[in-house]
Amino acid sequence: MNETIATILKRRSVRAYRPDPVEKTDIDLMLRAARHAPSAMNQQPWHFTVIRNPKLLRKLEKHCLNAFLESTNEALREIAKQEGFSVFYHAPLMVIISGDPGALAAQYDCTLAMENMMLAATSLGLGSCWANAIMMYHATEKGKAKFRELGVTFPEGYQPYAAAAFGYPATPWPDAPPKKPDCVTFMD
Ligand SMILES: Cc1cc2nc3c(=O)[nH]c(=O)nc-3n(C[C@H](O)[C@H](O)[C@H](O)COP(=O)(O)O)c2cc1C
């Protein structure tokens, strides 16, 4: 198996992080990989907000928990109520990819960029985990106001489409969860 396939198969959602900061050179490599993702008509309608300030991260994390606590989804509310639960899993790095909603396919473009970041992170020994609470909280008026208050802003008119936590895993690398069989149709 070549290294690329091995990295794709290795990537897992990591849900426990060491507090050690991620090296700037690694962040730059991850961002470079992200910016090489495909985008509709090569519009590259994205912006990367890289949050490393631990105090800001913890504040944002605390507020984003409300997105789960106030969700209509019971499972999310139950997860959020668990003792010690953290929506960013105490990660030392959060990257939010915002995009221009007027672009042809901003959500796809930003999501593809994030997958490239996650794969690059995996190849560098870093864990990653999508953080849906960012998008969920920002979608509410209260959330938008809180993001502004904390100074987490995006280019004019842009909205967050993808967000993920990154860092060195605090626990052994997770095993792959079961993968759904029978989801392929070949038409030869
Ligand atoms: C759109 C999307 C939203 C997700 N939201 C969260 C989330 O808020 N918190 C979380 O811990 N994992 C989240 N995940 C990660 C999934 O739970 C995870 O990818 C899935 O369980 C498969 O595990 P794996 O990533 O280790 O293969 C999300 C994944 C996607 C694609």
* pLDDT, one tens digit for every residue, the chain (188 residues): 999 999 999 999 999 999 999 999 999 999 999 999 999 999 999 999 999 999 999 999 999 999 999 999 999 999 999 998 999 999 999 999 999 999 999 999 999 999 999 999 999 999 999 999 999 999 999 999 999 999 999 999 999 999 999 999 999 999 999 999 999 999 99
Query: Ligand 1, from 13, 60, 112: best to mutate by most atoms within 8 Å of Cβ?
Result: 13
Domain 16-167 of CATH type 3.40.109.10: yes
Q: What is the pTM of this model?
A: 0.97
Taking the domains of the chain in order of start, what are their residue ranges? 16-167
| Three-state SS annotation for the chain | CCHHHHHHHHCCECCCECCCCCCHHHHHHHHHHHHCCCCHHHCCCEEEEEECCHHHHHHHHHHHHHHHHCCCCHHHHHHHHCCCCCCCCCCCEEEEEEECCCCCCHHHHHHHHHHHHHHHHHHCCCEEEECHHHHHHHCCHHHHHHHHHHCCCCCCCCEEEEEEEEECECCCCCCCCCCCCCCCCCCC
Contact (Cβ atoms closer than 8 angstroms) between residue 128 and residue 140:
no
**Taking CB atoms and a 6 Å cutoff, what residues make up the pocket around ligand 1?**
12-13, 15, 129-133, 174, 177
